[in-house]
A and B are shown apart, each in its own frame.
Chain A
Amino acid sequence: MLIAPQLSYSLLAPILIVLGGALLGVLVEAVMKKGSRAAIQTAIALGTLVLSFAFLWKIHGQSSKTAAVNSVSIDGVGIFLQGTILILSFIAVLFIADTDNFAAQASAVPGSEDERASVLAGKQQTEIFPLTLFAVSGMLLFPIASDLITLFVALEVLSLPLYLMAGLSRRRRLLSQEAALKYFLLGAFSSAFFLFGAAFLYGYSGSMSLDGIASAISANSSNDVFLLIGIAFLSVGLLFKIGAVPFHSWTPDVYQGAPTPITGFMAACTKIAAMGATLRIFYVAFGQAEWQWKPIILVIAILTMVVGGIAAIAQRDVKRMLAFSSIAHAGFLLAAVLALNTDGLKGALFYLATYGFTTLGAFGIITLVRDSSGEVTDLNRWVGLGKKSPLAASIFTLFLLSFAGIPLTSGFIAKFSLFTGAYESGNTVVVVVGVLTSAITAFFYLRVVVMLFFTDPKNDSVSVVIPSFMTRAAIAVCALVTIVLGVAPSLLLDTAQTFATFIR
């Protein structure tokens, strides 16, 4: 007789709710009138995320379980990251819902009569909301997936909507479409590597689960070549997603071309999901084989920090600058992979959460700086913004200081706890390079601060638009979290400490 597998729906509820909300959003697209869609979609998206968080809250106490026939692990790290992703996507939806950021009609050729007509009619593609929810469901699954098939499916579920969302900008549509094409082709390329690596790990261990791979490594009875091929190819796929050098080349282009709220969403939530999965795979599956991958990951971490830090200095576009800064942050986070201890894990969790808030807030400010033709991202035209709008410039400065890791911002505590973990495990090299590159990156953040405040504004039409209530609230929350976690880090650090466990 066939016995149906036990799925434990209550543990999967957060993901299923988000998926349900996304499907509801698709239905709304089909049956509602154009004019009322945006408001309804916003309500559905926000409601879904809140509901999902409520269900996550219910299971946060009874952590460390597996569900769906061991294909997902609901443990401390998983729940912490899921919660972070849900809160950050809630804020991202506030930005997405705010203004006219998205194409009036994505199918219309840029510059055509069709496009002009749909802009005049005040249309906007509201499919962005269900797409966001689909991406969020993939992001919720990715860090808790504990077998190779689930990991691959989650990776695609989170990536595919993002490829489309990157191409839906309202203005500068050619750039946006180009970003979507690059993101898609390189993303598909890297997931092929991920899959090929997964096939060889299966061949090595005879099992799909991370646990099974770990025990095959400790038993050390199979062909080591398969293991090496598996680790190498799987890592390429993961490192691409977190944007580590030398797999980072898509990051600046996509960050620049995509609509700014989507860039923020991508920068914050994708990085958390991908880093969560990376940590799980390296801690749980590859932990025993550290002598085989540590030297290479060490080199990649150092390269990522240095290239991200130095390339950022040369950028003239604000979004590209933040893209390179996100590459440098990916390098810092790889220090936690190298650490392989609870302190490193705790540091990484705290780092991901604070980095997410800061990034979302920074991209939120970028959506506000505009001239008559849309957002202004050229750094040279941001000169003297502090005189035109002291508040926006000060908040942006706060975010930059947090990126740089200046004390009294959350970024300082995050770097400190991350590097403490890496140092305790004996990875002195990565800590030294990390601290040095922090100093380099601090230079270019401070250069921007000087440009904002201590240079006279040029006489052009750049101004800071008055944000809507939702954007104001979202930026305020991001700024508040950045300060509070800098002054009183124990609020979150203790939580991260309790949640910093994987089950095997």
Chain B
Amino acid sequence: MDISNYLYLSAILFTIGAVGVVLRRNAIVVFMCVELMLNAANLAFVTFSRVNGDLVGQVASFFTMVVAACEVVVGLAIIVTMYRSRRSASIDDASLLKR
């Protein structure tokens, strides 16, 4: 199978994630879309690792997973705090700072 198909898939996943971030209104769904984008980058890393014939890209994808896990910790903390004080996880409700 042509290896560039993996890159196309990665680009499609990244686009779906990016479009989701822009269009979805629930903070948790937005955050899941960001995770999808990170995973798209991971897929690209692993594909290029295969193309280049070394392991550096695979190592990079492990780093990404760890960082993504840290991001989940911080992100969910912020979203939960937000939900507790407003009873809503919609990012449209968070508009006090707009003038």
Contact = CB atoms under 8 A, between A and B. Distances in A.
A152 B57 contact: no
A180 B85 CA distance: 14
Given A149-B60, A192-B41, A196-B44, A182 B94 contact: yes
Contacts of B60: 148-149, 198-199, 202, 208
Contact of A110 (B38, B85, B97): B85
A427 B47 CA distance: 39
B44 A182 contact: no
Given A181-B79, A257-B97, A203 B44 contact: yes
Contacts of B98: 253
5 contacts: A179-B97, A180-B82, A185-B75, A202-B48, A203-B52
A174 interface: yes
Contact of B84 (A109, A182, A199): A109
Contacts of A182: 94, 97
Interface string B49-92: 00110101101100110010011001101110110111000010
A317 B44 CA distance: 44
Interface centre among B40, B79, B97 (most CB of A within 10 A): B97
A153 B7 CA distance: 23
Contacts of B37: 189, 192-193, 195-196
A148 to B, nearest CB: 7
A503 interface: no
B44 A200 contact: yes
B97 A177 contact: no
Contacts of A149: 59-60, 63
B96 interface: yes
B38 A192 contact: yes
A206 B44 contact: no
B85 A152 contact: no
A70 B90 CA distance: 44
Interface string A229-261: 000000000000000000000001100110000
A164 B94 contact: no
A110 B64 CA distance: 35
| Nearest 6 A/B pairs, CB to CB | A203-B48, A192-B37, A199-B44, A195-B41, A253-B97, A206-B52
Nearest to A197: B41
Interface in A84-112: 106-107, 109-110
B74 A184 contact: yes
A145 B19 CA distance: 31
Given A153-B67, A185-B21, A202-B48, A167 B96 contact: no
A155 to B, nearest CB: 9
Interface string A99-136: 00000001101100000000000000000000000000
Query: How big is the A interface, by class?
Result: 35 or more
Interface string A162-195: 0110010000011101111110110011001101
A160 interface: yes
A29 interface: no
Query: Binding site of B, secondary structure by majority: helix, strand, loop or mixed?
Result: helix
Contacts of B84: 109
Given A160-B70, A164-B74, A199-B48, A185 B30 contact: yes
Nearest to A203: B48
Contacts of A153: 63, 67
Contacts of A202: 45, 48, 52, 56-57, 60
Contacts of A164: 74, 77-78
Interface in A134-162: 148-149, 152-153, 156, 160
A163 B78 contact: yes
Contact of B27 (A109, A179, A181, A207): A181
Contacts of B77: 164
B85 A206 contact: no
Given A185-B91, A195-B38, 18 more contacts: A107-B81, A109-B85, A110-B85, A152-B63, A167-B81, A178-B82, A178-B94, A182-B94, A184-B78, A185-B21, A185-B27, A188-B31, A196-B14, A199-B10, A199-B44, A199-B45, A202-B45, A203-B44
Contacts of A175: 96-97
A196 B75 contact: no
B55 to A, nearest CB: 11
Given A188-B71, A202-B60, A208-B56, A196 B41 contact: yes
A156 to B, nearest CB: 5
B67 to A, nearest CB: 5
Contacts of A193: 37
Interface string B4-25: 0001001000100110010000
A192 B30 CA distance: 13
A426 B11 CA distance: 37
Contacts of B91: 181, 185
Contacts of A316: 99
A100 to B, nearest CB: 20
